[in-house]
Structure 1
């Protein structure tokens, strides 16, 4: 390990960052304050403080950053564009839901050094392997604890550091290891000795035991021994022979072991902590599904009130919210449009105090970010409250800004019998809104309802739910007078219509017509007519939205809606929690492209499947057995001096009602560092194709609710059996390395 820290210090841009710069931090047109920024010696932490604010300072890690944008590429910097030239401005973009940092440098050269320097550091952080990442983590802790900066730590400092690292340990044992590491007998450890101490401290006995079970000589795994381990424990079958050699080539650090075609314990541990040793099958992370089926055959990652960063009453409307949703793989965004005072339509949550943004700015943002993480289509769900005049302005903005990206004509000129596929619609934006007539724009007898696509207010939760209401005869003139022909003509495959019951839609509906349902209406229909709902969703798109009563932007459980095949299950992406964990979990597969192919029994128009009767699908139920072995380096929840977590692991199954289950381990007192459980949790899964499995680690609390430590959610079908690590995510869905849980999973048919 490089004891000087990363050798990026020689880079001229990094030198500028380490020397420090005074930059203006900008929050709005009127809030611009100077702060002193510098990169700390670890090459990973950016520190800044006000010149005047006494001791107060702030730090953040390069690993928290996703990207750097140059110039006026944020709403805040655009608002001061006349005051500061683009070559002085840049934006630091954080992962997850954390707000951006908008900065202005004193000179173009200084801005350039920070932009390029931060980019190099982000790249370095992203390309570290497991060993480098762990070394870096240890290195960071050493420097955090080395208060007098002499590069050494005595036993008292080490003991304090262990507390910071969430380790409560036997003092005698710690002193014994400290003495062994203190080769120079100076009573203090230098960084290399501290790393040695740390390695002894973190010796993974539970991994060593597995290694010993398969190693003939107890020192290494020969190629055939590794192969047997992969076949028997990791359930890899035929590929285990080829894979064993690949793993040695990839993870074995010792050249001499490689030459013998063997894997040492270090190599074995590195493999188990890698992506390939993770619970998520790496082959299913990549784009692998058939993308040539009709749109109605996919679950589509969908956002509600996409323009909001916070709640629905006072929250800020922001272009940044669209960027964040699209970067998370979202493929259906919502735009709530109202008349602007100067003739230019605005976007905000109507009749509330949320701030307003321009419709044309939303469309420009969409144009720029729609296809950065996925090439498959984006549906623009329009909630239209505008006058005919401003609707025509909207149509002009859509066509001028989006150009060819906006789909405005049928793909082959024919009125479709089924929806086109994501593959055929690659790189296209589709407008979902009311429409006069059919997809070609011709008037037909299915004239639209009122122009207002305000289904979310119209369909109140108290609406009647009769599944066989007669079709309503709407007045053509009334509709036309309220709907701009120019806007209507831009709607092709996503025509918004009111839902008049499954029987009516079965007899009369066209595949390009889609309805929106409030969460309560969808839930009721799913319970009362599950099979009809599943059949309906084989042909047509359904969009579900949260109840209007959720003013805090909370979410409903999307699983209930996926269980009946609803494709566009819109969630408030701005609100972290269980529901977004499930959404992230489902769409983590298939290249995070925002489309997941529904199971076969949900794509067959004659299916008899209903979530209440899962036995209608072919296939036996499965037994899922999870041995929770241990956890590693859990973060502290309570930052109070001396507080250490008492962790437990809960496993939750989300799927059809009969599959819903949760089991948890006991809690372990005072050990967030390397708790060991060796407890087995068992589940029966009747509809594995729909099940999601969520692992949550909590800090046990006798007096109040347990505190959340970390979680990871994935589709049951993406699980790799065997000895696996689960890399935990924060409440926000971002990685918290090196926190992980070590498990052994087996899946078998229920006999």
Structure 2
């Protein structure tokens, strides 16, 4: 196999019962590589892989009598060198770290762990994957369409699959249309077929088939906009381009320096990041990062160690790595007594598997700052006795070293919370802190005891009963706090928040209150403005109710409305709640910190999320078209989506709304709507806009197709493309919505 191809591979493994391990042999099998799968120290199987023409997929076959299968992976997986995964740490001991690498995919897909025959071969893999990733990242949408047209995604290439004579009849063309998610009118399809049938023999061959398919990619709505501005000469002059850009709300001085722009250039511009709905100026860190921590929304995870259900799912250090890769800055560690004096992490009183506390701390050290340089908070739920608490403190200090904050940064203002900028590359511990006047033997409530004491209603009592009935339950030890662990809670000492009425004096900023979603909602209803003012100075963490046995999430928006910073969600559970979280932290370089609006940062603010005032902003969105929506059921070629678009506003209660278009029958390739949806907003600075595409169904709930969520303040006006994401946040490129956006008011 040539070195160029060898450096351009992406492999994927999906649905395996455990993280697979591959030993690669240096053997060229006519463009293939032969590999040995190792899922344990004794389970070995042969594998063959061949890179496909698209550069994104690999043909995979076992050395037994089974049909070959295709594994498609999204562009841009993360590559880790050495023993940097749970699988390689467990099974890779026989191979030098220099020979090993891990390919980590987005969403819930499992890692691919590899061992090359030599360190040099491993580096070729690393370089090749980096080159492929850079090439894909540099492509605009138009170039992606040219490189990876939709017919390649269904395993078809012009002149190859059209029968034995490499030609296609009209009936075969119709079948191909169904494969790419369009049920075209027969008369229109046949007219297009005849226009491409230059030989006039009722069959299309190679170039004719490709011409037919490329005509499908034409965008008449973009041509219409182009001609509206260009006039009869069908070319945009500099003044005409400037007029269009000004209508878009853009500063067109730079782009309009070009004397002429053709239709192709115009389409490339609208499909580029500059033509997307997300403001490119907000994709990097653009906010003030020098304000106190309490002035930021902070991306936060609940039960971070879990990869599935909180009742019987596996725990894994990989869950922490994936959370950090999604920009998470506050992770949870449920710490329990373990064998051999080593604390373990798992969901107590359940059947979830256990992982070592020290392994999690090592994962924090190795991966916490890969994506974002800003501080990470370790939220400790401590169920250990004094001896293992001291062990926890020792591991934190020895493994994290200078990363760990062990004393206040500014001795002149010890009670003032530092800023994200001051804490770059540092790790904070959130946990119980011994009162200065209390002896070391004094009993202190643990975090979980505190939470259970707050949740004493019937529902939470039911959850507690469920835990009591679960096999393997262990009795919690007496909750004393060791001085060693207490000393590490420098800026995030856990404390209870009992009431906000009458208004208490401002608490010390270095205290963090943990509230269940129910307790937080109660405070919002009963003391909205007081809660907002409390969160100006002090960090508040909100967590899901214990009743959510399947690790479901609550909507984080209501908590953000009141200024809560650490709104913790189950990152392993996809859904609209995680879409909102991803949308909230999409901006500011996806660094996990977003500056709260001014109304949530002012000490004397009068803002109340339950009474935000009169409407201030009108948002008008015209939903025009969609392009190349994915098929939901590839096994049924006649199954075509009937797409509709829903636009949701998530903000203060009075702003929350959802409106949708009609559905388009049997067309997921290029559906057209041309419908206008309008919204009135009272607190636009808090609003998120979620674009959702669904497959309409008359007899059952609609099926999810794709979505994209972003803050209203980062939404660009004018004609924009919405680049859709899958349920787990992966790109659905080239699937897009094309809309026109108008924002009026403050």
Is the TM-score greater than 0.5?
A: yes
Query: Judging changes above 3 Å, is the alpha-carbon distance between structure 1 residues 444 and 532 closer, same or farther for their aligned structure 2 residues?
Result: farther
Q: What residue number does 1:726 align with?
A: 722
Q: What residue number does 1:454 align with?
A: 448
Q: 1:417 offset after TM fit, Å?
A: 4.4
Q: What residue number does 2:648 align with?
A: 652
From 55, 64, 69, the counterpart of 1:52: 64
The answer to whether the 8 A contact 1:29-1:76 is kept is: no
- Please give the secondary structure, in 2, of the residue aligned with 1:266: helix
The answer to whether the 8 A contact 1:17-1:38 is kept is: no
> 1:552-631, aligned counterparts within 5 Å?
552-615=550-613, 621-631=616-626
Query: Judging changes above 3 Å, is the alpha-carbon distance between structure 1 residues 317 and 611 closer, same or farther for their aligned structure 2 residues?
Result: same
From 472, 477, 481, the counterpart of 1:483: 481
Q: What residue number does 1:473 align with?
A: none
Query: Judging changes above 3 Å, is the alpha-carbon distance between structure 1 residues 663 and 300 closer, same or farther for their aligned structure 2 residues?
Result: same
Q: 1:87 offset after TM fit, Å?
A: 4.8
The answer to whether the 8 A contact 2:580-2:709 is kept is: yes
Deviates more, 1:513-522 or 1:180-189: 180-189
Q: What residue number does 1:258 align with?
A: none
Q: 1:241 offset after TM fit, Å?
A: 3.0
Q: Determine whether 1:174 maps to 2:189.
A: yes
- Aligned equivalents of 1:150, 1:92: Cα separation in 2: 39
Deviations 1:427-447 (A, max 9, x none): 11000001123xxxx548999
Deviates more, 1:286-295 or 1:82-91: 82-91
Q: What residue number does 2:745 align with?
A: 749
Q: What residue number does 1:470 align with?
A: none
From 635, 638, 646, the counterpart of 2:633: 638
The answer to whether the 8 A contact 2:540-2:565 is kept is: yes
Q: What residue number does 2:332 align with?
A: 334
Deviations 1:1-42 (A, max 9, x none): xxxxxx998556459697112223344445443222221233
- Please give the secondary structure, in 2, of the residue aligned with 1:276: helix
The answer to whether the 8 A contact 1:449-1:498 is kept is: no
The answer to whether the 8 A contact 2:81-2:102 is kept is: yes
Q: 1:120 offset after TM fit, Å?
A: 3.1
- Aligned equivalents of 1:447, 1:666: Cα separation in 2: 67
The answer to whether the 8 A contact 1:692-1:713 is kept is: yes
Count how many residue pairs are aligned between Structure 1 and Structure 2: 706
> 1:305-320, aligned counterparts within 5 Å?
305-320=303-318
TM-align CA RMSD: 2.8
- Aligned equivalents of 1:563, 1:193: Cα separation in 2: 57
Q: What residue number does 1:203 align with?
A: 218
Deviations 1:301-342 (A, max 9, x none): 000011111110111111110000001110101011111110
Q: What residue number does 2:13 align with?
A: none
From 219, 230, 243, the counterpart of 1:215: 230
Query: Judging changes above 3 Å, is the alpha-carbon distance between structure 1 residues 682 and 60 closer, same or farther for their aligned structure 2 residues?
Result: same
Q: What residue number does 1:539 align with?
A: 537
Q: What residue number does 1:120 align with?
A: 131
- Please give the secondary structure, in 1, of the residue aligned with 2:252: helix
- Please give the secondary structure, in 2, of the residue aligned with 1:240: coil
Deviates more, 1:109-118 or 1:320-329: 109-118
The answer to whether the 8 A contact 2:574-2:728 is kept is: yes
- Please give the secondary structure, in 1, of the residue aligned with 2:624: strand
The answer to whether the 8 A contact 1:208-1:265 is kept is: yes
- Please give the secondary structure, in 2, of the residue aligned with 1:144: coil
Q: What residue number does 1:717 align with?
A: 713
- Aligned equivalents of 2:441, 2:305: Cα separation in 1: 30
The answer to whether the 8 A contact 1:384-1:452 is kept is: yes
From 682, 702, 708, the counterpart of 2:704: 708
- Aligned equivalents of 1:543, 1:644: Cα separation in 2: 44
Q: What residue number does 2:269 align with?
A: 271
Query: Judging changes above 3 Å, is the alpha-carbon distance between structure 1 residues 54 and 455 closer, same or farther for their aligned structure 2 residues?
Result: same
Q: What residue number does 1:82 align with?
A: 93
- Please give the secondary structure, in 1, of the residue aligned with 2:377: strand
From 196, 208, 224, the counterpart of 2:239: 224
Q: Determine whether 1:164 maps to 2:158.
A: no
Q: Give the TM-score of the pair, scaled to structure 1.
A: 0.89
- Aligned equivalents of 1:324, 1:12: Cα separation in 2: 27
- Aligned equivalents of 1:704, 1:71: Cα separation in 2: 48
The answer to whether the 8 A contact 1:24-1:105 is kept is: no
> 1:359-398, aligned counterparts within 5 Å?
359-398=357-396
The answer to whether the 8 A contact 2:335-2:382 is kept is: yes
Gaps of 5+ in 2: 10-27, 459-476
The answer to whether the 8 A contact 1:23-1:105 is kept is: no
- Aligned equivalents of 2:134, 2:163: Cα separation in 1: 28
- Aligned equivalents of 1:273, 1:456: Cα separation in 2: 52
The answer to whether the 8 A contact 2:501-2:527 is kept is: no
- Aligned equivalents of 2:421, 2:309: Cα separation in 1: 35
The answer to whether the 8 A contact 1:90-1:104 is kept is: yes
Gaps of 5+ in 1: 1-6, 249-260, 465-478
- Aligned equivalents of 2:242, 2:740: Cα separation in 1: 18
Q: What residue number does 1:72 align with?
A: 83
Deviations 1:62-90 (A, max 9, x none): x3551233332211121123344445543
Query: Judging changes above 3 Å, is the alpha-carbon distance between structure 1 residues 548 and 370 closer, same or farther for their aligned structure 2 residues?
Result: same
The answer to whether the 8 A contact 1:67-1:119 is kept is: no
Q: What residue number does 1:427 align with?
A: 425
